[in-house]
Amino acid sequence: AQSVTQLDSHVSVSEGTPVLLRCNYSSSYSPSLFWYVQHPNKGLQLLLKYTSAATLVKGINGFEAEFKKSETSFHLTKPSAHMSDAAEYFCVVLISTGRRALTFGSGTRLQVQP
């Protein structure tokens, strides 16, 4: 079985402070992992993806994620939050066999306080 768990449904930070959004996955195979962002009433935009070339993945808008196989984690970070970062973030894992569909976490809503 393959699943993904986002450990926090809501995260609130002050503008200019670091952001940490946590994600753990379970997979019987070497996973493909993604982070997507969704602004209100919009579609999803890819932030970054794990390609197995490097464990530290850099994405758009200053976001990064580190793949830690020993911890089965793929946490999303950003050194300094901006007001425009307020959105819903989804950690996503690819099912590697069969239909090869994406499995989405339940999402983390990030609030950024001025």
Partner 1 sequence: DGGITQSPKYLFRKEGQNVTLSCEQNLNHDAMYWYRQDPGQGLRLIYYSQIVNDFQKGDIAEGYSVSREKKESFPLTVTSAQKNPTAFYLCASSIDPQREGSSYNEQFFGPGTRLTVL
Q: Which residues bind partner 1 (CB under 8 A)?
A: 9, 32-34, 36, 41-46, 49-51, 90, 94, 99-102, 104-107
Question: Which residue lies nearer to partner 1 by CB, 106 or 111?
Answer: 106
| Residue 85: how many other CB atoms lie within 10 Å | 20
User: What is the closest distance, in whole angstroms, from the C-beta atom of residue 66 to partner 1 in the complex?
Assistant: 16
Go through 49-62 and write b for each residue having 16 or more CB atoms within 10 A of its CB, e for each that does not. ebeeeeeebebeee
Three-state SS for 2? Answer: coil
Q: Which two tokens stand for residue 28?
A: 């019987």
Question: Which residue lies nearer to partner 1 by CB, 77 or 103?
Answer: 103
Question: Which residue lies nearer to partner 1 by CB, 10 or 114?
Answer: 10
Q: Please give the C-alpha separations between residue 61 and each of 3, 20, 98, in angstroms, as whole numbers.
A: 27, 14, 34
User: What is the closest distance, in whole angstroms, from the C-beta atom of residue 38 to partner 1 in the complex?
Assistant: 8
User: What is the closest distance, in whole angstroms, from the C-beta atom of residue 50 to partner 1 in the complex?
Assistant: 7
